[in-house]
């Protein structure tokens, strides 16, 4: 069984409070893009979970979110057979694109299908939050408003077709570090998430891009000036708007014109500001399937 684990960007990210357990209350507009990791799962008579990946620095034990997700379901349903899993990563790691969370979501979906556990999407999402705050969204996919710690989800209509330029500088940023260094009392500007949701419902691309904002930039951007440099370059080269995704450091630019997007991609590559550069699109509604068995 082969599954596609799609990456996300946050079109809007607001933090509204901090909970007693240290997690933050958020209001985010999530969007899947056509960039994905591939997870292959094979049933085996030999009990246990065996995981291989194309990135030697990633753990292949329960430090990997794929392993954790598979184990969670296999323990709960007392599955005696084993699985051999191979993960091919294309989504940049520790980038603010939910690569690990999406891989975990694909593992939940895959194990549920392979062993015919009969769990609904909602039941998989409930289990996903035990692995990470973004995992329920990665099970749901598409365009969504995420509240709570990210697990309270409202599905939204797909955003109008547009081109997404991704620039990941050669630094890794830990989500825990970014939330840990957020001083909410010092955040003066909060993005208009309700206005963005309204613009999405009205299929108004510029109404969406006008409202892009991410309060986590207040932590990551001062620490890594390259983020603002990539944003500025994308804007100079014709992006409708550009912003950091999630906790960063990846920057995405939204383009309404494919020629401008290609030019901006080439310029970004030449500049050396980003280490990984991709041009992609938002997922089309209905284009977020996990793939065939
Ligand atoms: C910032 C966002 C935006 O979509 O994504 P990324 O940048 O990681 O992709 C998410 O809120 C990240 O979600 P996720 O990466 O699943 O978080 P988790 O693994 O559950 O938590 C990692 C750490 O981030 C902090 N955390 C996470 C979510 C949240 N709502 N409040 C938090 O304070 C906690 O300190 C936690 O220890
Ligand atoms: N399948 C996985 N893919 C990527 N990272 C993983 C995975 N499993 C565990 N990790 C760990 O989780 C950390 C953050 O992963 P990732 O999901 O790529 O970050 P982000 O949510 O910021 O995009 C990495 O530093 C890595 O060590």
pLDDT, tens digit, for every residue of 122-175?
999 999 999 999 999 999 999 999 999 999 999 999 999 999 999 999 999 999
Determine whether the annotation assigns residue 92 to a binding site: yes
- Token pair 């990791």 in the structure block, residue: 37
Level-2 CATH architecture, domain 163-281: 2-Layer Sandwich (3.30)
Ligand index nearest the alpha carbon of residue 93: 2
Cis peptide before 20 (omega within 30 of 0): no
Predicted TM-score (pTM) of the model is 0.96
User: What integer is the mean pLDDT of 210-217?
Assistant: 98
For the chain, residues classed under CATH 3.30.70.890 are 163-281
Comma-separated ranges of CATH 3.30.230.10 domains in the chain:
2-156
Topology classification of domain 2-156: Ribosomal Protein S5; domain 2 (3.30.230)
Sequence-distant (≥ 6) Cβ neighbours of residue 31 within 8 angstroms: 8, 9, 10, 11, 142, 143, 159, 282, 283
Q: Which residues line ligand 1 (CB under 6 A)?
A: 10, 13, 22-24, 26, 28, 96-98, 101, 132-134, 149-150, 175-176, 179, 246-247
Q: Residue 162 and residue 283: Cα distance in Å, rounded?
A: 10
Distance from residue 134's CA to the centre of ligand 2 (Å): 12
Phi then psi for residue 137, to 5 deg, are -60, -40
Q: Considering 134, 168, 231, 260, which one is annotated as catalytic? A: 134
Whether the complex's predicted ipTM surpasses the cut of 0.90: yes
> Hey, what's the torsion of the CAs at 141, 144, 145, 146, to 10 degrees?
0
């Amino acid at each position: 069984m082969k599954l596609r684990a799609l990456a996300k960007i946050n079109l809007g990210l607001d933090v509204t409070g901090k909970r007693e357990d240290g997690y933050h209350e958020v209001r985010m507009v999530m969007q899947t893009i056509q960039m994905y990791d591939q997870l292959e799962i094979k049933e085996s008579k030999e009990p246990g979970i065996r995981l291989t990946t194309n990135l030697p620095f990633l753990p292949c034990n329960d430090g990997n979110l794929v392993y954790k997700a598979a184990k969670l379901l296999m323990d709960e349903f007392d599955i005696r057979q084993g699985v051999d899993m191979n993960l091919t990563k294309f989504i940049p790691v520790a980038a603010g694109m939910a690569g690990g969370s999406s891989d975990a979501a694909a593992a939940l979906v895959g194990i549920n299908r392979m062993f015919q556990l009969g769990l609904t999407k909602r039941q998989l999402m409930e289990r996903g939050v035990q692995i990470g705050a973004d995992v329920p969204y990665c099970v749901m996919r598409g365009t969504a408003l995420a509240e709570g710690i990210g697990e309270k989800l409202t599905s939204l209509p797909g955003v109008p077709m547009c081109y997404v330029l991704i620039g990941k500088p050669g630094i890794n940023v830990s989500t825990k570090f970014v939330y840990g260094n957020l001083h909410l009392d010092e955040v003066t500007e909060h993005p208009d998430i309700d206005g963005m949701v309204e613009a999405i419902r009205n299929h108004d691309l510029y109404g969406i891009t006008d409202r892009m904002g991410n309060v986590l930039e207040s932590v990551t951007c001062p620490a890594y000036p390259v983020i603002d440099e990539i944003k500025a370059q994308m804007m100079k080269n014709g992006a409708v708007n550009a912003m950091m995704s999630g906790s960063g450091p990846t920057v995405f630019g939204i383009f309404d014109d494919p020629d401008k997007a290609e030019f901006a991609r080439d310029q970004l590559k030449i500049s050396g500001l980003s280490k990984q550069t991709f041009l992609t699109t938002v997922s089309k509604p209905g284009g977020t399937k996990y793939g065939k068995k």
